[in-house]
């Protein structure tokens, strides 16, 4: 269960508004008679639950009316990997990709500094989502986001010459602040912002991580700080400085490409061929799934 909130109707009757997810997607659900529907312990965000429900349409959208709801027990037979949304690539394989790129960094000081930070955060990187509700917002999403950006960068740098040490280090570290900005469990379902995340955000937290890299001299640390600080490009998106290095500019566009392609893939996977989706909030547009030959 990705989300649960107690609300009131216009008649002040309490009901539960839920977001249920599995590997096929997510759907809104309602519990209208709380006392009759809930069985046993009150479920919370991130719990795996068993439901009996009927579908209904509301304002053109399908939702569930829940008849019975309870947390799963030891007696329930299920396979977590068939329920919990997660990155399509196993975390061990993504970790191996990350290691390959870190090993390819030629500058020893940058390599040592990046490896120290990544190995310090390995346990969380293996399952953390990249966001609460936007792109890669599922188990292993953060590692997926980093590794797909690295693989894309590897191709782009055969066309656009740049310092790959700086670019790879920037990609690997650009969202490291998210392991402090967000809190979650190993399902990735109950993701919330921490107080530090709400007050500072992952960019500011990432700067603190870079500042702690004692292996780097002033120049290298300054360059990495700029990579992190500018990767959202504009103040409206959270970056007080625009990219002033071509590696920083590439980092920003790789970040945008990966997040946008994720959103397009997610929408088109759920759409029928030859149809338009509803307006996608993150893309600020509708998406068309063509009939390809």
Q: Which of 36-50, 100-114, 182-196, 227-241 has the lowest mean pLDDT?
A: 36-50
Which is higher by pLDDT, 292 or 115? 115
**pLDDT recorded at residue 195:** 97
CA 9-10-14 angle, 5° bins:
25
Fold exhibited by the domain 91-266: Hypothetical protein af1432 (1.10.3210)
**pLDDT recorded at residue 193:** 95
Question: What stretch(es) of the chain map to CATH 2.40.50.140?
Answer: 3-80
Which is higher by pLDDT, 293 or 239? 239
**pLDDT recorded at residue 10:** 87
Stretch 142-163: mean pLDDT: 97
**pLDDT recorded at residue 165:** 97
**pLDDT recorded at residue 186:** 83
Chain mean position to CA 244: 27
Stretch 21-28: mean pLDDT: 84
Task: Give me the chain's average pLDDT, please.
Answer: 91
* Prediction pTM value: 0.86
Residue 1 vs residues 5, 20, 28, 273, 288: alpha-carbon distances, Å: 11, 5, 10, 29, 29
Q: Which of 51-55, 141-145, 170-174 has the lowest mean pLDDT?
A: 51-55
Question: What stretch(es) of the chain map to CATH 1.10.3210?
Answer: 91-266
Whole-number Å distance between alpha carbons of 94 and 101:
11
Residue 98 has pLDDT above 90, yes or no: yes
CATH assignment, 3-80: 2.40.50.140
Residue 137 has pLDDT above 70, yes or no: yes
Structure tokens at 194: 């921490």
Stretch 127-131: mean pLDDT: 94
**Hey, which residues does 31 pair with through a beta bridge?**
16
């Amino acid at each position: 269960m990705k989300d649960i909130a107690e609300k009131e109707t216009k008649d002040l009757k309490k009901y539960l508004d839920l977001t249920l997810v599995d590997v096929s997607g997510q759907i809104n659900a309602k519990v209208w008679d709380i006392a009759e529907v809930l069985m046993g312990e009150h479920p919370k965000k991130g719990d795996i639950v068993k439901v009996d429900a009927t579908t209904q349409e509301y304002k053109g959208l399908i939702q569930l009316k829940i008849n019975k709801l309870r947390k799963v027990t030891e007696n329930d037979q299920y396979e977590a990997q068939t329920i919990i949304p997660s990155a399509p690539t196993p975390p061990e394989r993504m970790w191996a990709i990350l290691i390959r790129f870190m090993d390819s960094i030629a500058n020893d000081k940058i390599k040592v500094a990046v490896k120290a930070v990544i190995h310090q955060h390995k346990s969380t990187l293996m399952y953390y989502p990249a966001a609460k509700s936007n792109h890669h917002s599922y188990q292993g999403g953060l590692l997926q986001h980093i590794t797909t950006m690295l693989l894309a960068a590897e191709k782009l740098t055969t066309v656009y010459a740049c310092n790959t040490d700086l670019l790879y280090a920037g990609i690997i570290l650009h969202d490291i602040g998210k392991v402090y900005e967000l809190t979650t469990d190993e399902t990735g379902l109950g993701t919330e912002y921490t107080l530090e995340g709400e007050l500072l955000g992952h960019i500011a937290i990432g700067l603190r991580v870079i500042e702690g890299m004692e292996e780097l001299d002033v120049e290298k640390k300054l360059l990495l700080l700029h990579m992190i600080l500018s990767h959202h490009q504009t103040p409206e998106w959270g970056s007080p400085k625009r990219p002033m290095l071509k590696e920083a500019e590439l980092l920003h566009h790789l970040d945008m490409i990966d997040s946008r392609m994720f959103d397009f893939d997610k929408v088109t996977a759920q759409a029928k061929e030859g149809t338009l989706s509803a307006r996608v909030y993150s893309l600020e547009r509708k998406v068309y799934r063509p009939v390809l030959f």
